[in-house]
Structures are given as structure tokens and as C-alpha cells.
Amino acid sequence: MLEKLSLDLELFVLERGWKPYHHPKSLSFALLVEVSELIEHFIPEKPLPLSVLEEEMGDVFNILLLFAKHLSLSTDLFEVSSSLSSTSQVLDVTRKAGLLSDYFLWMSEEESKACKKNPEIESLFASLFSSFLLLAHMLSIDPVKVGLNKLAYNKKKYPVDLMSGDLTSYRKRKKEWKKDSV
């Protein structure tokens, strides 16, 4: 199922003409945004329903897979263990997502697009991916299942016929989607 999700994500991006916008720097920053939204679930004064947590986990997992695919990084599902609480674990995921994004912070878009797999990126990614998988395990959430669910949702939200690949049409569609959802 992981390979199917990875291939479906790649097709989703290609069909909408978004590939030029997907490079390590942009994906690492998108990852930070999604991890930040995930943290909201762990703020005691603002607990979110499980369905929202699963959506955010799906977003994070899908971006991790796109990032891995772009740089040909391994997404082997390996054993992870920790004595951290789930709140500490989400903070660990956040810290590691920040470290990965920091690697690309000062790169230009061109440098990011030309970036190749290297040991430092592999190490940062493996650490983040492991922490995310552990968090999913601690929360009894199947990352592939929520990734597939989020992709199905995004296919409806961003239908191919309305997505021309440029940011203007994306922003317009996003505003329309929000109006329709209210």
C-alpha cells in the first residue's frame, strides 16, 4: 500500500502541473506548516477531534513521501522505540522537521531543484521519518491509511480540470473551496 500511495501522490502532482513547485526547499517548508498544524492537537486547551488529527497526520506523511521520492530516499518501515509521551514525540517530530528545513533555508529555488541525495539529508530525513512513524504508532494511526484518505480528499478539493499548475489558479480554487466548506 505504501508504494501505491507514493505512486498515486506522484501522479496527483504531475496531473496538476505542480512538479515545478515541488523541490526539497518547498517541500521541507510545507512539511513545517503541516507539522505546526499537527501540534494543535496536543495543546490541552484546544483538543481537536480524531478526524482532524488523522487529516494532519495524512498531510505530514504525504509530504514526507513526496520529499523522499524527489531525492530517492528510503522509506523502509523500520522498527522504532521510544519512552517519550505522544506530546514529547510530536515536539521531536517538529524539531526534526525544523532541522531538515534548516538545511534548505538559504538555498535558492534553483539550488534546491538541483539538490541531490547526500548523507546529511539522508540522516535528517531518516531521523524525522522514524520519529513520525513512532508518533503514528503511539497514536494508533496507520500513516498509509490516513495518507490515502487525505489524497482522496485532495483529489476532490483540487480536481485536475480546475488546476492549471500556476499558483493563481491554485489560490483561486482554495478560496472557492473554503467558501463552499463554510
pLDDT, tens digit (0-9, with 9 covering 90-100), for 56-111: 999 999 999 999 999 989 887 555 566 668 888 888 999 999 999 999 999 999 99
Residue 7: what pLDDT?
94
Domains of the chain: 2-181 (1.10.4010)
Q: Which of 76, 73, 62 is nearest to 121 (CA)?
A: 73
Residue 112 grid cell: 534546491
Rounded-to-integer distance, Cα 156 and Cα 82, Å: 37
**pLDDT over 90 (residue 162):** no
The pLDDT-based confidence of 158 (bands split at 50, 70, 90) is confident
Grid cell, residue 91, equals: 515536539
Indicate if the pLDDT at residue 2 is higher than 90: no
Q: 123 vs 59, 63, 112, 128, 129, CA distance in Å?
A: 22, 17, 18, 9, 10
| Averaged pLDDT of the chain | 87
Q: pLDDT, tens digit, for every residue of 132-143?
A: 999 998 889 999
* pLDDT band at residue 44 using 50, 70 and 90 as cut-offs: confident
Q: Find, among 159, 115, 141, the residue nearest to 52 by Cα.
A: 141
Q: Which three cell numbers stand for residue 178?
A: 473554503
Q: From the centroid of its chain, how far is CA 164?
A: 22
Determine the angle formed by the axes of helices 86-104 and 24-39, rounding to 10 degrees. Answer: 160
| CA–CA gap between residue 132 and residue 143 (Å, rounded) | 9
Residue 182 has pLDDT above 80, yes or no: no
- Grade residue 149 by pLDDT with cuts at 50, 70 and 90: very high
**What span, in angstroms and rounded, lies between the C-alpha atoms of 127 and 49?**
28
Question: What CA–CA distance (Å, rounded) separates 21 from 182?
Answer: 28
pLDDT tens for 90-101 read: 889 999 999 999
Confidence of residue 54 (pLDDT cuts 50, 70, 90): very high
